[in-house]
Amino acid sequence: MTFLKHMAALAAGLSMIALAGAASAEEFKLSPEIAQHAKDGKKLVFAISYHDPSVAFAGPIRDGVAKAAADLGVEASFVGPVGGGAEKQIAELETIIEKGVDGLAISSASTDALAPLINKTLAKGIPVIAFNTDNPKSDRLTFIGQDLVLSGKTVGEQLVKYMGEKGKIVITSLDTAAQWSLDREKGARETLAKYPGIEIVNVVNTGTESQQIYGAIENTFAANPDLTGMISLECCSFPQIGLYLKRNPRSGEFAAVGFDLLPQTLQLIKEGHLDSTISQNPYAQGYKSVEVLTDIVKNGKMPPKMIDTGAEIVDKTNVDQYIGK
């Protein structure tokens, strides 16, 4: 079994121990039109909307969506606002809904902005689930992804493991105002609050373009030459931190921890420039999103409140298992 298939199978198993379904899921009723589609055996049409499909992290999600669509005999388009933006995401989703769709999976660019659209869509009898980035302010039928606050706590623990209980650190994020970023930051701060010797000097919003991110990292080091650690809250500022450290070796010890399994991140861990990363299984997030929507529409099977895709730690001791997968 390939690694990606193994991860998809793991996520499927995790659903068996997930939390019980929410009341809103139990009360949800399919629209007569969608119910008729399922009864007639028509090919179901789903849209999987990611908050920024242009980032590298979106690739494995897209692959999972495509594989599930092929396996289940449905149509599932991977969409979203290139470069991010709640207004663009809402406009695109409104167009998709108007054209006709049998179900939506949404990773919200903004919890506050997307929640009304999600609730309005559910009221029409169109199933809506959240993935990757939750929208707890909405009545979404389930969330497929990582417990973001818990993963933030874990990344904080990883920092302490490699840096120790004293030091000055910076937290980086592609979008510090996004709910997923706020949740992970909250978890990291909860862990680090236990260590009065650790000072969070700044939280840096890096932007999304590679050169922009690297420039933000470079400026951060220039402004804070006494830093002893960094936490990245996502996929794409993390390898840029490693790249900077590779080009500019520190004279003393420095800890760098973050998220996701981008090939560059894994290689930089292997080379010793980054310490550890936390996987959230994006492939399974994509696969399960299509699978759950299919179950709702075809089988009337309501999902649990959350399907946790895990938080596996990858460091120098096990990174070779993931490189090239």
Mean pLDDT of 73-96: 95
Give the position of tokens 């869509």.
121
- 79 near 98, Cβ under 8 Å? no
Query: Do 176 and 265 have their domain in common?
Result: yes
Instruction: Confirm whether 208 is domain-assigned.
Output: yes
What pLDDT score does 213 carry?
96
pLDDT at 109: 83
Does pLDDT of 12 surpass 70?
no
**How far from chain centre, in Å, is Cα 176?**
14
**Does 169 lie in the same domain as 293?**
no
Neighbours of 166 (CB within 10 A): 12
Please indicate, yes or no, whether residues 93 and 17 belong to a single structural domain of this protein.
yes
Residue 142 CA to residue 136 CA, distance in Å, equals: 9
pTM for the predicted model, two decimal places: 0.80
In this structure, is residue 125 part of a structural domain? yes
Residue 14 has pLDDT above 60, yes or no: no
| Residue ranges making up the domain that contains 160 | 148-279
Distance CA 16, CA 303 (A): 10
- Contact present, 57 and 234 (Cβ < 8 Å): yes
Strand order in the sheet with 255-259: 198-205, 167-173, 229-232, 255-259, 276-279, 312-315
Say if residue 18 is in the same domain as residue 130.
Answer: yes
The β-bridge relationship of strands 312-315 and 276-279 is antiparallel
Q: Are residues 178 and 220 in the same domain?
A: yes
H helix or E strand, kind and range, residue 163: helix 148-163
198 to each of 165, 194, 205, 299, how far by Cα in Å?
A: 6, 9, 20, 51
> Tens digits of per-residue pLDDT, 158-202?
999 999 999 999 999 999 988 889 999 999 999 999 999 999 999
Both tokens assigned to 29: 């009723």
What is the CATH number for 189?
3.40.50.2300
Number of domains in the chain: 2
Asked if the structure places residue 313 within a domain, the reply is no
Task: State which H helix or E strand residue 243 sits in.
Answer: helix 237-247
Band of pLDDT at residue 23, cut at 50, 70 and 90? very low
Q: Mean pLDDT, the chain, as a whole number?
A: 91
The whole-number pLDDT of residue 111 equals 82
Q: In the structure, what pLDDT confidence band is assigned to residue 243 with cuts at 50, 70 and 90?
A: very high
Instruction: Give the closest residue to 12 by CA, choosing from 53, 58, 68.
Output: 68
Query: Would you say residue 15 lies in a domain?
Result: yes
- Contacts of residue 216, defined as CB under 8 A and 6 or more positions apart, other chains included, come to 172, 204, 205, 206, 207, 237
Is 131 found in the same domain as 7? yes
pLDDT band at 25 (very low <50, low <70, confident <90, very high): low
pLDDT of residue 8: 39
pLDDT digits (tens, 9 = 90+) for 250-299: 878 899 999 999 999 999 999 999 999 999 899 999 999 999 999 999 99
Count CB atoms within 10 A of the CB of residue 29.
Answer: 10
Residue 62: pLDDT band (50, 70, 90) is very high
- Same structural domain for residues 266 and 302? no
Tell me: do 206 and 288 sit in the same domain.
no
To which H or E segment does residue 169 belong?
strand 167-173
